[in-house]
Amino acid sequence: MADDARVASVPLAAHLAAELRRIREADLYRTRRVIDGGHGAQIQVNGRSCLNFCSNDYLGLAADPRLAEAARAALAQGTGSGASALISGYNREHQRLEEALADFIGTPRVLLFSTGWAANLGVLRGLLGRDDALVADELNHASLIDGGRLSGARYLRVPHADVTAFDAALQETAAARLRLLVSDAIFSMDGDLAPLPELAAVAARHGAALMIDDAHGFGVLGAGGRGTPEALGMRPDIQVGTLGKAAGAAGAFVAGDTDLIEYLVQRARSFVFSTAQPPAVAAAARRGLELIREEPERRARLFDNIRRFRDGAAALGIALVDSQTPIQPLLLGDAARALSLSQQLFEQGFWVAAIRPPTVPRGTSRLRITLSATHQPGQIDALLDALAAGMRANP
């Protein structure tokens, strides 16, 4: 390239200032708000008491004192694990949690990861390489997208929930050594379910494996709270779930057969090279899992709340996305409008996050309203009234 055609270098400070200005001008700037105390339905945000309608704490376990007590008991033995699981970080609490999860899901083995992001990257980078193919829903979580890109495999993204497109993509990749079809189970920004039984059939017909990320279904869906596979009557080859949503703690897991888990222990870089989660967190997650088993009334209250919210929205003329899960998006389109309505609600004591690009496609900014088993009927009705008034004021 000729010297005069080269792009002039820019100092880092100037580059960052320009990029931040661009983000602000597009109404896409994000800020953190500080929570004091527990993370429940009633929450202290930047010193203001709010009703929390943007958390993934679907069963209300994040602030349950029984999880805190389980963590305190484990803390008597120490705080950090001190090393990765393959060195000296694999504590008895980790083993107990893995065994409890495998028993609960009904799968031979489970492997713990520090986060859902680490789990998805660990699986995709560990299993796939240049001779393989990944066929993925275009609306999959960012961790699945990044894991697919980093794997080196041929990566085909297909239209959302389009079974025919999945089928065609698997035909197109017939020469690949290993083919993996991957999808969210519940899509985190729309709340809809993937057509998992149909995807399982397509994968089986082509000799491909099916991996699902059930972060938002685990603990919520199914007669026993075992997740989307239980609710839809199917079983994927690889199931990823998280422990920081319905289970009220933190961390994630991969569930599957023994060879899968043993292979990931050897090759999942985000497992091999990460310090194991604190044993107290594993203890809290195991107590959360016990409560999912023991208190099915939490799921019943959650779905009562979902019905109340949707029925109330329909009565008030509030058009929601068709979702039967705790994730109830209100599409607004414009980022500035979503921000304005979110701020107006916050000033009235309701915390509902505005979701904007790049988290969602351009032109689909929204309020992502989420419901919990611990929301009271009057709180839901109050939010609906505030939403209706806010939308009239911001047409």
To the question of whether residue 149 is assigned a binding role by annotation, the answer is no
Give CA separation, 84 vs 90, 91, 247, 273, 280, in Å: 7, 10, 23, 6, 16
Edge-to-edge strand list for the sheet holding 365-370: 327-333, 365-370, 354-355
216 counts as catalytic: yes
Q: List the catalytic residue out of 245, 323, 342, 372.
A: 245
To the question of whether residue 188 is assigned a binding role by annotation, the answer is yes
To the question of whether residue 235 is assigned a binding role by annotation, the answer is no
To the question of whether residue 183 is assigned a binding role by annotation, the answer is no
242 token code pair: 């998280």
Q: How far apart are CA 251 and CA 260, in angstroms?
A: 19
Provide the total of helices (H) and of strands (E) in the chain, helices listed first.
14, 14
Q: List the catalytic residue out of 216, 270, 342, 375.
A: 216
SS3 76: coil
> 224, 262, 253: which is closest to 118 by C-alpha?
253
To the question of whether residue 141 is assigned a binding role by annotation, the answer is yes
> 238, 175, 181, 226: which is closest to 204 by C-alpha?
181
Q: List the catalytic residue out of 81, 114, 143, 188.
A: 188
309 token code pair: 């919210």
To the question of whether residue 30 is assigned a binding role by annotation, the answer is yes
CB 8: neighbour CB atoms within 10 A? 4
Q: What residues act catalytically?
A: 188, 216, 245
Q: Which residues are annotated as a binding site?
A: 30, 141, 188, 216, 242, 359
Q: Which residues are annotated as a binding site for pyridoxal 5'-phosphate?
A: 188, 216, 242
Q: Which residues are annotated as a binding site for substrate?
A: 30, 141, 359
